[in-house]
A and B are shown apart, each in its own frame.
Chain A
Amino acid sequence: MTRRGVVIGLAALGLLAALPFVFPVPYLRHIFILAFIYAVVASNWDLSLGYGGIFNFAHVAFFSIGVYGYGILTKLAGWSPWAALAAGGVLATLAAVLVAIPVLRLSGIYIILVTFAFAQLVLQLVVSQSGLTGGMMGMVGLPTFQIPGYNLARDGKLGYYFGALALLVVSTAFLRAFVGSRLGLAIRALRDDPDYAAARGISVARQRILTLAASAFFTGVAGAYYAAYLRIASPDAFGVSLLSLLLSILLLGGLASIYGPVVAALVLTFLSEASVDLGPWRHIAIAVVIIVVVRIWPGGLWSALRRLSS
């Protein structure tokens, strides 16, 4: 990272850390918490989709697996919420490896179909196993995080705010490190020219599994965090509207940029929350925005802005 990048990053972090004290409004914090979580999910998706070039549409399912994993482990198996948080990441990673197996030998459109079908079938499974998951109603009243002597939801969700921010920082640092590593370079080489990369001895199978697994861990953790924060696990976590929101975050942010989706998540979560009262019109508006953005700025808003500024 350039020096200027470090300065900007630290400044942004400082701003976000100061924000809850400058504007002590719980609702504002609530939106930021959601935005941080979506930012983690979207930027990790960027790893497989943008950097890896793997058309993985099961990413939202990794998130939901984190959500339900947390719900089931804490509520039915009596695990401690902190252990369940980590378990959410591990379960999502395992799911990613499972998805990776059929994906290894496929390309393009077939990867999309298989991963999409995987996500939908996991959803059907969750809905159908109502004894475990509560079916369509989902699970409510999930245990929240406790630090001895302090409830994270107190002081206007302050604990959750900083927890989510920390999660975003750790996840982003992980993604940057991953992308810059030798493995990250190999993944991009594979995306840009599979034949050349294969000729250089880069194993397609190994890279794909590693990329998917790496993109799933923090996504699953984010899912568990989401469940602990909202105290519910519901099938909406698989829904097309969450998928659309995440896709528009990725699109606005631009693929293969990591910071792009993070910034876009902050912007779009605000817009999305602000338009909750619009009902169906809200979804229509998001869909129109997506189509228009794809038409006008093929590289995403982030890259359009960067091109403007350079």
Chain B
Amino acid sequence: MLLEIAGLKAGYGGVTVLHALDLEIGAAETVGLFGPNGHGKTTLLKTVSGLVAARGGTIRFDGVDITNRKPGHIVELGLVHVPQGNLLFPDCTVAEALSLGAWPRRARPREAANRARIETLFPRLAERRRQKIHGLSGGERQMLAIGVALMAEPRLLILDEPTLGLAPKVRGELAAAITELAGGGLPMLVVEQDLRFLGAVCPRLALIDRGQVVLEAPSATIDEAAIMSRYFGDAA
């Protein structure tokens, strides 16, 4: 198993958000995570990457216990998290952000090659190399955020709602890039609201509900309409 989460509990102040959550990701697997807003998807990802403290349970990455380790340590192991709505560093340039992405020691040797690969994947970033990040569009910023993560040579890439709030055209571009990454054999954990997109990228889906994984199934067997009405329809 690449990632094993068992009985994970986490929250903020007096509020518990994750209630003994279990989830596993296999060696070369890409898993899609979905569920209603505010049910703990982002909290789960942040706990995995060390930003939010785990209050119980364990997280193992490639056999190593990473529960409550420092974010830097977790990145160094190759678990890289692209946060939701990542604004990056407004006053840095695109090139600077990419070079900072190669901060982990194990990513240094292949920095130039990775940069070239990323600029092929997102040609727009190559065009904007010298520009400050605050001048980028939302879509470009998301591409850069993924590019920065790829610079760290991830062994598992975590994406939190990468297409949130983007126009359909850019969404398509990003979806294509993510599909390409998955096709290239990079294991991923992707959170998305768009089930069709998620199903196309991820062979297996997990549904999170009130801080627990309540359903795991191959995407092909998931009845999109039923899920939508069960988990999103009631409220609508």
Asked whether any CB of A lies within 8 Å of a CB of B in the complex, the reply is no
Interface residues of A (CB under 8 A from B): none
